[in-house]
Amino acid sequence: MKFSQTPLDQKNRRNEKLFRMLFMMMAVLLVLPVLAVLSVLIYKGGPALSWDFFITNPTQGMTAGGIWPALVGTMWLVAVALSVSVPLGVSAAIYLSEYAKDNWLTRVINLAIINLAGVPSIVHALFGLGAFVLFFGLGKSILAASLTLAVMTLPEIIVTSREAMQAVPRPFREASWSLGATRWQTIRHIVLPNSGSGILTGIILGVSRTVGETAPIMFTGAAFFLPYMPETVWDQTMAMSLHLFVVATQVPDAPEALPFGVALSLIAMVLTLNTLSIIFRTRLRRKKKW
Amino acid sequence: MVDATTDSLAIRVRDLSLWYGDFQALFNIDLDVKKGIVTSLIGPSGCGKSTFLRSVNRITERLGYVRTEGQIKVLGENILADDVELIQVRKKIGMVFQRPNPLPLTVRENVLFAWRLVHGKGTKEQTDEIVEQSLQQVLLWDRIKDRLGDVATSLALEEQQKLCIARLLPVQPEVLLMDEPCSALDPAATAAVEELIWKLREQYTIMIVTHNMAQARRASDECVFMLMGKIIEHRPTDEMFLAPEHQETADYIEGRYG
């Protein structure tokens, strides 16, 4: 027979199966830790959750009561951080994607972004303390903490936004320019509407990180416990991530369910934010016109 | 060379040289293009015909490393002069590309894009009229009048290319430059676009780059043959194809090299 299997074919087939299985197992394995974390959190923290848990203050030296001030505090931090990092990051990304030529300045900026992304969060924390709290005299406040978070999330927002804009095919820009549109008109009418979903992905990543970070806000504006709610950006605030750290390690007689409850709420918060953004993103993507 | 008086000229090029970095792509080009006719540019790949076409609405310079010397007078004004506004140049001198490149917007928004850059949003009546007129002119209105809200990239290639021509018209260009406008189209679509080009020549001066000898012959009044960045021959199309003056031209149009 001309077409029958040779020993070499057999070996190739066997390897093919082997590697397929191997790669699939690795992919499936990835899901396990996520499931494990979620199930432990739900099992141990679930009993602590109730409507009251979300909307009451911690009581009895933080061994009972809820997480309301931390929840609100985290929203403050995220909102203020985003209102700084999004305009700044997206503008920088527009410059890098649409205006910058490949020269030394661009290379320096790119290098700075990569390095900024690699800075450990505890270093950001010290930078925030030195720069915003002390040097600019903002004191320990929501503003100082948010600015620190903003600096930390900037690289993510810049890099993903720039990539989203670069994904808009070049011929669209050329068509627009050839019709007499300026660069800015082209960006506004062609590039931005078609990269919105990608830019939003960057913002989502930024938000998830902002919600979870503890170190950068510890020195710059987050408090262990506050008897009042923040009213302006000049106030200090409690925050979910720090609150988790506190009830898990600093309050010896807290019931076991409490830290797990806080952790579960924190994860739920991130997941909710992500889900909302994904829905929004899908709707934006449907507007894409090619 | 074809003789013509100055005011019947749409484009008058004098001593135009162009470099991409160190590489010289055009050598001392002199060319007179008459108003209201179709002039085709032919020549083997890399002879500079596309480069020349693109330099007439200064789209070449966007690359950054391009240097141009000489004069390109369009309607009597040198578009390479310092005080020329590039945006005005692009409006008066429309460009059609090799691959249809409608913007990722609706058909309607595509037609109105250039117009809106000048006039703002416009009223519904104004814009409706512009859209209908422009699409009528490119013989597309009857076919797509019910699909104005569709995404332009969902049209057939032939329709897309006609739309790309239609979107130039609302800002009243004088010259239309076409860079192998049919090379992405099938024969039937090519014929349709050629018919359109022939119809538009009464109103606009058209310069078209083509690889297709038969197309140059069918759809142009005058023909320019280029080789290695120089113009070898420029004559009425019929004459050029019947009795080329130069040996290189004869060899090229007979298909001895391409």
Q: Indicate whether B38 pLDDT > 90.
A: yes
* pLDDT interval class at B217 (50, 70, 90): confident
B101 lies within 8 A of chain A by CB: yes
Q: Indicate whether B191 pLDDT > 80.
A: yes
| pLDDT at residue number A287 | 65
Query: What angle do helix axes B107-119 and B157-166 make, rounded to 10 degrees?
Result: 20
A178 lies within 8 A of chain B by CB: yes
Report, as an integer, the average pLDDT of B100-124.
90
The full 3-state SS of B113-176, as one line of letters, equals: HHHHHHHCCCCHHHHHHHHHHHHHHCCCHHHHHHHCCCEHHHCCHHHHHHHHHHCCHHHCCCEE
* Residue A160 CB neighbours (<10 A): 22
Pairing relationship of beta strands A64-65 and A58-59 according to DSSP bridges: antiparallel
| pLDDT at residue number A18 | 96
Distance CA B184, CA B99 (A): 6
**Residue pLDDT, tens place only, A104-158:** 999 999 899 988 888 888 898 888 888 888 898 888 888 999 999 999 999 989 9
* pLDDT interval class at A188 (50, 70, 90): very high
Burial of A33 (0-12, 13-18, 19+ CB in 10 A): exposed
Q: Are A77 and A242 in contact (CB under 8 A)?
A: no
A287 lies within 8 A of chain B by CB: no
* pLDDT interval class at B1 (50, 70, 90): very low
List, in order, residues 6 or more apart from A217 with CB less than 8 Å away: A77, A125, A145, A148, A149, A239, A241, A242
Q: Do B101 and A174 touch (CB under 8 A)?
A: yes
Q: Are A165 and A94 in contact (CB under 8 A)?
A: yes
**Residue pLDDT, tens place only, A227-282:** 778 887 788 788 888 888 888 888 777 778 888 888 899 888 888 888 887 887 78
Using a CB-CB distance cutoff of 8 angstroms, which residues of chain B are in contact with residue A175? 97, 101-103, 164
Q: Do A177 and B153 touch (CB under 8 A)?
A: no
| pLDDT at residue number A148 | 92
Please name the residue of chain A whose CA is at the shortest distance from the CA of residue B151: A289
Domain ranges of chain A: 7-48, 51-285
The residues that bridge with B32 in the sheet, in sequence order, are B12
Report, as an integer, the average pLDDT of A213-223.
84
* pLDDT interval class at B93 (50, 70, 90): very high
Q: Min CA distance, B197 vs chain A (Å)?
A: 19
| pLDDT at residue number A91 | 94
Q: Do B104 and A101 touch (CB under 8 A)?
A: no
Using a CB-CB distance cutoff of 8 angstroms, which residues of chain B are in contact with residue A190? 103-105
Q: Min CA distance, A75 vs chain B (Å)?
A: 37
| SS3 assignment, position B103 | coil
**Residue pLDDT, tens place only, B142-171:** 888 898 988 888 888 889 999 999 999 999
* pLDDT interval class at B107 (50, 70, 90): very high
Q: Do A180 and B87 touch (CB under 8 A)?
A: yes
Q: Do B114 and A180 touch (CB under 8 A)?
A: yes
Q: Which CATH architecture has domain A51-285?
A: Orthogonal Bundle (1.10)
**Residue pLDDT, tens place only, A84-114:** 999 999 999 999 999 988 889 999 998 999 8
Q: CA B63 → CA A102, A248, B19, B72, B215, distances in Å?
A: 12, 59, 12, 19, 30
Find the CB nearest A289 among B101, B105, B168.
B105
Pairing relationship of beta strands B205-209 and B175-179 according to DSSP bridges: parallel
Q: Do A178 and B102 touch (CB under 8 A)?
A: no
Q: Which CATH architecture has domain B6-253?
A: 3-Layer(aba) Sandwich (3.40)
Q: CA A203 → CA A88, A104, A280, B174, distances in Å?
A: 12, 28, 12, 46
Report, as an integer, the average pLDDT of B29-42.
91
Distance CA A200, CA B38 (A): 48
Chain CA centroid to CA A171, Å? 32
**Residue pLDDT, tens place only, A19-44:** 999 999 999 999 999 899 999 988 98
| pLDDT at residue number A185 | 92
Distance CA B150, CA B106 (A): 5
Share of chain B above pLDDT 70, in %: 97
Please name the residue of chain B whose CA is at the shortest distance from the CA of residue A182: B87
A277 lies within 8 A of chain B by CB: no
Domain ranges of chain B: 6-253
| pLDDT at residue number A289 | 56
A289 lies within 8 A of chain B by CB: yes
Q: Are A268 and A202 in contact (CB under 8 A)?
A: no
* pLDDT interval class at A288 (50, 70, 90): low
Report, as an integer, the average pLDDT of B27-40.
91
| pLDDT at residue number A283 | 79
